[in-house]
Amino acid sequence: MWGPSLARRVSLAAATAACAIVVTACGGDEPDLVAGKQQFVAKCGSCHVLGRAGTKGTAGPNLDEAFQQSLKAGMGRGGIEPLVHDWIIRPNPASPMPAKLATGKEAEAIAAYVASTVARGGEDRGLLATAVKAAGSEEPAEAEGGVLEIAADPGGQLLYVTSKATAPAGELEVRSPNPSSVPHNIVIDGKGEGEVVEKGKVSAFKATFEAGKYQYYCSVQGHKEAGMVGELTVE
C-alpha cells in the first residue's frame, strides 16, 4: 500500500536520507518512537504486517519482508526512514492508501518507528513494549440479559478485544461495537452476519443458539486470516 516497489525508490530515499542526517546534526528534534508505534498501529496496522508492532494487516505489503532484502544488501535504516515518510505523504496513486494519512511530527514519528524496527526479530523493549495495549487480551465476554457484546479493538488492530466468549443456550443478540475507523463486522456461520461498520457503530445480529462451540470472526477481506476470530461457548 505504501507506493511502488522499493527498488524504484531507493535513489530518492538516499537523497532524502542525506538531508535528514544534516537536520539531525544541526540539533533537530528526535522523533517520538513511542508515539510513532501508537500511530502506526492505529493508522497503518490494519493494512501492514510489522512484527514488532504486532500488526497483521494483509491489504498492503508485509513491511518486514519488503525491507529485509534491502537491509541485507546494505541499505541503511537511515534510508528507510525518509522513504517511509515519503510514502505516507505521497503514496502510489494506484494504491487505496489516502495521501497524508499522517503529517508533521506524527508522520515523522511513524517513519522513525518503522525504520528502527522493521525486519528485526524479537520484541520491543522499555517504553515501546507497553506503548500499545495488547489487543485480544481482555477477559472472556459473557452474555447478559440475552445480549453478547464483543467489541472490535479500539486501536484499529485486526482483533476483537477478546478471543473468548460464553453464553447460555437460547435467543441471543450478538453485538460488536467498533470504535475504530477500520471497517469490521461480526459473523457466526449458520447464525448470522452483522453489517460492516466503523467509527462507533455496531455490527449485530440475532439468532437461537444450542449448546456447543461456535467461531465468531470478521468477514472483511483479510481480517479473519490476520487473527480477527474467536470462540463462543454456549452452555
DSSP string, 172-218: EEEEEEE-SSS-B--EETTTEEPPPB-TTEEEEEEEEE-SEEEEEE-
Provide the percentage of residues in the chain whose pLDDT is more than 70: 87
Same fold, 6-130 and 141-234: no
CATH of domain 141-234: 2.60.40.420
Domain ranges of the chain: 6-130, 141-234
The whole-number pLDDT of residue 20 equals 40
Q: How many helices, marked H, and strands, marked E, lie in the chain?
A: 5, 11
Residues 6 or more apart whose Cβ sits within 8 Å of residue 7: none
CB atoms within 10 A of CB 192: 15
Question: Where do the DSSP E strands lie in the chain?
Answer: 49-50, 55-56, 141-142, 147-149, 164-167, 170-178, 187-188, 192-193, 201-209, 212-217, 229-234
Instruction: Check pLDDT > 90 for residue 200.
Output: yes
Residues in the chain, overall count: 235
**Pairing mode, strands 164-167 and 229-234:** parallel
What does pTM read for this prediction? 0.71
Residues 6 or more apart whose Cβ sits within 8 Å of residue 98: 91
Spatial separation of the C-alpha atoms in residues 39 and 45, rounded to whole Å: 9
Mean of all residue pLDDT scores within the chain: 87
Spatial separation of the C-alpha atoms in residues 171 and 174, rounded to whole Å: 10
Instruction: Check pLDDT > 60 for residue 4.
Output: no
Q: In 3D, which of 173, 172, 138 has the Cα closest to residue 153?
A: 138
Question: With respect to CATH, is domain 6-130 assigned 3.40.50.300?
Answer: no
Provide the percentage of residues in the chain whose pLDDT is more than 90: 67
Spatial separation of the C-alpha atoms in residues 111 and 20, rounded to whole Å: 12
Reported confidence tier of residue 59, pLDDT bands at 50, 70, 90? confident
3-state helix, strand, coil in the chain (%, to 5): 30, 25, 45
231 or 22: whose pLDDT is higher? Answer: 231
